[in-house]
Structure 1
Amino acid sequence: MTFRQLTLLCFAALLLSPCNSFGQETAEKRSGNMDELWGDRVTKLRAENAERGQLFDEGNYAMFIHWGLYSQLGNKVDEKTYYGIGEWIMNKRMADIPIARYKKLAGTFNPVKFDANEIARIAKDAGMKYIVITAKHHDGFAMYHSKACDFNIVDSTPWNKDPMKELAKACRDAGLGFGFYYSHNQDWTFPGGGGGPGVDEEGNRATFDDYFEKKCLPQVREITTEYGPIEIVWFDTPGKMPKHYVEKLVEVVHENQPHAMVSGRAGHGLGDYQTLGDMEVPRENIEGMWESVDTTNDSWAYAWYDQYWKSPREILKRLLACVGRGGTYMLNIGPRGDGTVPERAVKTLEMSGEWIRRYPQVVYAADASPWEHALPWGDVTRRGNTLYLCVFEWPMSGKLYLPNLKNEIESVELLNAPQSEPVTSTRQGNAVVLTLPPRAPEKLVSVVELKLVGEPDVDPTWAIDPSIETELLVEFADVNNAKKEEKRWMEKFGEWKGIVHAHDWKADSKASWTIDVLEAGEYNVDLTYAGEGRLVWKVAIEGGEAIQNQQNSSHNYQTFPIGWINFPEAGRYTMGVNCIEGEVETASLKAIHFTPAY
């Protein structure tokens, strides 16, 4: 029995207990103090009560912190701003700061405003269940009192404090888990480290083994023995690091911290779970234990210019997408050099955290959506036979479509809504249709609780929503005589973007989707693509109407209109897309969009 199944069984027992009065509570009263009612009864998520991996598996939401010597620079060196991720500022791809000069920065690093209790409060108010912070990043500077190397925050700075001691205690006091990020391969300042100098201070040749034995392995022993219980050791960028080194590090972590998890970026498949690419939120369900790592703006470490903050709505959208795909979301903050957290980051985390406190059951110990992907109006998480429909786009028609849901409905409730506005359900062909009130009860995301008779039984085939735009990504298409693969690029250095696209087109190439049309009628068709020059695209219903149009191209995946197409009746169709004229070989297709024409 998994942690999650055990938790659900215990929760069910609580509900059946004679002394339980949840059944007599009104919806309004239940929502009035959700933190008290749901807190520990949803799942035992306080760190001291958690089993190995439980905070990761059931908490589903965590705080990442990138804070180091680089933070005081904030991406500005010699009055020049370098745009990109701040923790790489020393590297030759950014400011290319010589080692000796970079080490002198430690003499001015004095984060007197660092407040471990405040950071723990921010994480807790945000709804996060543990914190992972940089013990040592690629620059080699240890943010704790390391005995293995004097290039650390206690021995090299005027502050002369170990913030990790304070933060570990603050997390324990707040009931949060605590863990360390450790760059095990790259070390740009220690002889023999990945990307570091090839000779020591005496001019002797240094090897990776020198770095590993003198610094890396001793430091991993330090962070796993001197800071109390640790939930995660988050290794990063293994590169071509030989397997036996990684095996030794994982062995040390598990020996010293039997309850700790090792991140998937340890390398060689030796982590305890999978870590996706930076800023990557998956579009379809992923099996097993995994996490997505993201950041509140564009840079992981503090960058003075970076004010592009994710809104509370965007944070919730990405969090629920990760939970809905079956994973965990770890969201980063980058404190300033003085130790304070940017106020706008705090505000957006607090606002999204207020929503989570009202709907903890939607996030914690929740499982993946049975649709296996987002729906046009939002996303879905699950606890047993109960689905939580997280509605981001409130339908103007008043109808919310649940395609290919085969179960009978036991009950349906719009949470935090007046009882005078009940939700009703009907069946329309293969879809369940919920009739909603005209206005959404929540500004950010409204939640419909749908209790099913039996385990969810859903056909995950994509369906065209009759009232909201439906985007079908190439990721879900069958592509013939062209290449379908992931494409990732940086907008700024280290700011990753990514799509799955169909490219290397030829005159007879095709992308096709199997779809269910819930209501017959006219639909406007758009395509999102990149390429060169004017391209002619053809969109066709197999055995039915075909349309085509010429539009210009873009380099950054703009959306262009193609025209209207008619589905004569509800049912299952195959849609095909071809690029038929122009510089066809340059075409890169991301998605097709359907919007009801009227």
Structure 2
Amino acid sequence: MPMQPWFREAKLGVFLHYGVYAVDGVPESWAFYHGDVPHERYMSQLGRFTASAYDPGEWAAVFARAGARYAVLTARHHDGVALWDTGQGDLSVVARSPAGRDLVAPYTEALRERGLKVGLYYSHSDWNHPDYATAVHPQPHDEEMRTNPYASARPGQEDPEAWARFLAYRDAQVGELVTRFRPDLLWFDGEWERSEEQWGLSALAELILAGNPDTVLNARMLSHGDYATPEQGVPVVAPEGPWELCLTVNDSWGFQHHDHRHKSVRQLVRHLAETIGMGGNLLLAVGPREDGTIPAEQAARLEGLGEWVAKHAAAVYGTVAGLPAGHHYGPSTLSADRRTLYLMCFDAPRETVSLRGLRTPVKRVRVMGSGTALEHRVVGGLGGVPGVLWIDAPQAEDVDAYATVLAVELDGEPELYRGTGRD
């Protein structure tokens, strides 16, 4: 299936790790997997998970103000606790928590009312399912995965029938998500614990696409994925094809009481600019409290980012990757018609902004937000080596607090010189 155009054009999404782990503020699922929290204590959070202030309409309003075009909610993490009324056992917040209701349906409805695309996260692995630790990856990538009792069978204790039952359970749950909620995107995880053949991903992809052929799948569907998902750091070299950087607002995916290391709005603007400048999307993660409220510090950062995005929307949405490194000291994007370059300047420009190796004549340069026109000129150049385009720096009143964007209107598509200069 060809990639859905909305994904490449969206540029910004919000990632929500919401589940019982927010009660005690422990790492989602990993807390008991690594033995940091006893399993019994971890699962006791189910009895204290209320979602008492859960208002997905308010979530969607915040996401829209942030400039996000989609969101992804953890419908079921590695701990196996479903946020919807699954027919596959009773390990859900509907059946076993004071929340007592489906949390996925109102989320999908709220996003669609705002015109946002609906993403649902689902982990292939389930460290609570009795049939899960009945197989072993043929080439486990680390010793812990091979020996952890939640992840793998003990040597000689593999049980193919039990594993088949687990896959039937997994397929049934994914089928519920597809038929009930028709997500625009399914964000899988946990794929590292089995091989593609063991997971039966061909059959799973067929099941999903039969229910909704327009579903976007991430790379954790392995060869059936549509786009790459690097985490927690802008790649130095962009992945091939569509991709999305998954980045936390603080240091944690889910809510953790002690984590106050929130990135500033300026840092988030930089992450977004660098990501879209390389042709990717930013999926920015926040962790709601167990009652369903997004911490004020995180909501404020989403909205601060949204103010910058709204001011520079043409440089964000529907653009493609800009100039390769070396032409401009900062990221850039290129309009869909390939006639406008958007140069992003994180620091206040002094005297001039330079653009090197551009052969295409420039018609006009203006400051986004204010529309102020800037004088510009080409200096130097010899033979086939173009001169440097020097753009006068904007005045202080035109400089953005987070990143100033200059729209460079071209007389044709950009033609770049990539050589080493005349000998």
Q: Distance in 1 between matches of 2:47 and 2:202?
A: 36
Q: Which residue of 2 aligns with 1:139?
A: 79
Distance 1:457 1:197, change over 3 A: closer
Give the 3-state SS of the residue equivalent to 1:280 in structure 2. Answer: coil
Letter in 2 for 1:65: L
TM superposition score normalised by structure 2: 0.87
Q: Which residue of 2 aligns with 1:190?
A: 129
Contact between 1:286 and 1:326, CA under 8 Å: does it hold in 2? no
Contact between 1:122 and 1:350, CA under 8 Å: does it hold in 2? yes
Q: Distance in 2 between matches of 1:52 and 1:212?
A: 27
Q: Which residue of 2 aligns with 1:271?
A: 225
Distance 1:191 1:572, change over 3 A: farther
Q: Distance in 2 between matches of 1:178 and 1:120?
A: 11
Distance 1:108 1:458, change over 3 A: same
Give the 3-state SS of the residue equivalent to 1:230 in structure 2. Answer: coil
Q: CA deviation at 1:312?
A: 1.4
Distance 1:208 1:416, change over 3 A: same
- Equivalence map 1:167-178=2 (5 Å): 167-178=107-118
Q: Distance in 1 between matches of 2:43 and 2:357?
A: 61
Gaps of 5+ in 2: 134-148, 382-386
Q: Which residue of 1 aligns with 2:141?
A: none
- Equivalence map 1:18-37=2 (5 Å): none
Give the 3-state SS of the residue equivalent to 1:226 in structure 2. Answer: helix
Q: Distance in 1 between matches of 2:191 and 2:219?
A: 10
Q: Distance in 2 between matches of 1:441 and 1:120?
A: 30
Q: Which residue of 2 aligns with 1:305?
A: 258
Letter in 1 for 2:210: E
Distance 1:341 1:240, change over 3 A: closer
Pair 1:359-2:317 in alignment: no
Give the 3-state SS of the residue equivalent to 1:274 in structure 2. Answer: coil
Q: Distance in 2 between matches of 1:240 and 1:167?
A: 29
Q: Which residue of 1 aligns with 2:275?
A: 322
Q: Distance in 1 between matches of 2:366 and 2:165?
A: 62
Contact between 1:237 and 1:266, CA under 8 Å: does it hold in 2? no
Q: Distance in 1 between matches of 2:44 and 2:224?
A: 37
Q: Which residue of 1 aligns with 2:16?
A: 65
Gaps of 5+ in 1: 1-50, 76-84, 462-515, 517-570, 574-598
Question: What whole-Å deviation, never above 9, does each CA across 1:350-385 have from its counterpart, x for those lacking one?
Answer: 011011111111111100013257843x21000111
Contact between 1:231 and 1:261, CA under 8 Å: does it hold in 2? yes
Letter in 2 for 1:131: A
TM superposition score normalised by structure 1: 0.62
Distance 1:340 1:393, change over 3 A: same
Question: What whole-Å deviation, never above 9, does each CA across 1:247-270 have from its counterpart, x for those lacking one?
Answer: 121111111121111110112x22
Letter in 2 for 1:70: Y
Q: Distance in 2 between matches of 1:119 and 1:237?
A: 26
Letter in 2 for 1:253: I
Q: CA deviation at 1:348?
A: 0.9
Q: CA deviation at 1:572?
A: 8.0
Give the 3-state SS of the residue equivalent to 2:320 in structure 1. Answer: coil
Q: Which residue of 1 aligns with 2:43?
A: 103
- Equivalence map 1:37-76=2 (5 Å): 53-75=4-26
Q: CA deviation at 1:235?
A: 0.8
Give the 3-state SS of the residue equivalent to 1:167 in structure 2. Answer: helix
Q: CA deviation at 1:455?
A: 1.3
Pair 1:437-2:394 in alignment: yes
| Structure with the larger RCO, 1 or 2 (CA within 8 Å, 6+ apart) | 2
Letter in 1 for 2:99: W
Question: What whole-Å deviation, never above 9, does each CA across 1:89-120 have from its counterpart, x for those lacking one?
Answer: 2222532x22x443332122111011100111
What is the RMSD of the two structures over their aligned residues, measured on CA atoms? 2.4
Question: What whole-Å deviation, never above 9, does each CA across 1:519-560 have from its counterpart, x for those lacking one?
Answer: xxxxxxxxxxxxxxxxxxxxxxxxxxxxxxxxxxxxxxxxxx
Give the 3-state SS of the residue equivalent to 1:450 in structure 2. Answer: strand
Identity of aligned residues (%): 28
Q: How many residues align?
A: 393
Give the 3-state SS of the residue equivalent to 1:427 in structure 2. Answer: strand
Q: Which residue of 2 aligns with 1:246?
A: 201
Distance 1:143 1:61, change over 3 A: same
Give the 3-state SS of the residue equivalent to 2:269 in structure 1. Answer: helix
Larger CA Rg, structure 1 vs 2: 1
Give the 3-state SS of the residue equivalent to 2:95 in structure 1. Answer: coil
Q: Distance in 2 between matches of 1:460 and 1:286?
A: 21
Pair 1:125-2:65 in alignment: yes
Give the 3-state SS of the residue equivalent to 2:379 in structure 1. Answer: strand
Distance 1:210 1:217, change over 3 A: same
Contact between 2:328 and 2:343, CA under 8 Å: does it hold in 1? no
The partner residue of 2:94 within 142, 151, 154 is: 154
Distance 1:344 1:300, change over 3 A: same
Q: Distance in 2 between matches of 1:304 and 1:142?
A: 23
Q: Which residue of 1 aligns with 2:138?
A: none
Q: Distance in 2 between matches of 1:144 and 1:373?
A: 49
Q: Distance in 2 between matches of 1:296 and 1:107?
A: 28
Q: Which residue of 2 aligns with 1:116?
A: 56
Greater helix share, structure number: 2
Letter in 1 for 2:202: E
Q: Distance in 1 between matches of 2:402 and 2:232?
A: 22
Give the 3-state SS of the residue equivalent to 1:222 in structure 2. Answer: helix
The partner residue of 1:338 within 263, 267, 291 is: 291
Q: CA deviation at 1:416?
A: 2.9
- Equivalence map 1:446-525=2 (5 Å): 446-459=404-417
Q: Distance in 2 between matches of 1:114 and 1:92?
A: 30
Q: Distance in 1 between matches of 2:272 and 2:65?
A: 15
Contact between 2:78 and 2:190, CA under 8 Å: does it hold in 1? no
Pair 1:181-2:134 in alignment: no
Question: What whole-Å deviation, never above 9, does each CA across 1:262-286 have from its counterpart, x for those lacking one?
Answer: 110112x22112222x213123444
Pair 1:223-2:177 in alignment: yes
Question: What whole-Å deviation, never above 9, does each CA across 1:559-598 have from its counterpart, x for those lacking one?
Answer: xxxxxxxxxxxx689xxxxxxxxxxxxxxxxxxxxxxxxx
- Equivalence map 1:376-455=2 (5 Å): 376=329, 378-383=330-335, 384-396=338-350, 398-417=351-370, 419=372, 422-429=374-381, 430-439=387-396, 440-455=398-413
Letter in 1 for 2:416: V
Q: CA deviation at 1:159?
A: 1.7
Q: CA deviation at 1:418?
A: 7.0
Distance 1:210 1:127, change over 3 A: same
Distance 1:217 1:379, change over 3 A: same
Contact between 2:233 and 2:245, CA under 8 Å: does it hold in 1? yes
- Equivalence map 1:539-558=2 (5 Å): none
Contact between 2:321 and 2:334, CA under 8 Å: does it hold in 1? yes
Q: Which residue of 1 aligns with 2:36?
A: 94
Q: Distance in 1 between matches of 2:46 and 2:288?
A: 16
